[in-house]
Amino acid sequence: MDDRHASLLGVTLLAVVLSACMTWDDLERQREEARRAAGHEMQSNIEVGNTIVPAIEGFHADLGEFPPELDALTPEYLAHVPRTIEGRDFDYFLDSMEGYYLCFDVPSAANVSCCYLQRLQLWDCSGGCE
């Protein structure tokens, strides 16, 4: 291999390595943006969910039972049942041992959902809630 071919090979290898580094940086940047987006979605939807929780609790305080569905909260406890920031319905599950779960999926994070756990009175975003 002469010097010209060796130089050309060196430049080509350098271009491949730099391209791979840029691709890795781009991938890391995309991952960080996705984490930020998921965090924003979670926080925003928790804020919306926190407007539903007092209505459920008020229904329970007044009637001695949890509402069978979220629509039972209107119009006495809520003017309308809010939706997630993505325009989806919250999931609502009754549980004889735990009280209820109020949940939403996080579309920007695969296999992640957040649920309000009535018995613990906190939001858990570690996965599913069923």
* Single pTM value for the model: 0.70
Alpha-carbon span 60 to 39, nearest angstrom? 31
pLDDT attached to residue 130 = 44
Provide the strand spans (E) within the chain. 91-95, 99-105, 113-117, 122-124
Tens of pLDDT, residues 81-102: 999 988 999 999 999 888 999 9
Is residue 115 within 8 Å of residue 100, measured between CB atoms?
Answer: no
Give the C-alpha separation, 99 to 117, whole Å.
8
User: pLDDT class for 23, splitting at 50, 70, 90?
Assistant: confident
Q: What is the residue extent of each domain of the chain?
A: 37-124
pLDDT at residue 42 in the model: 85
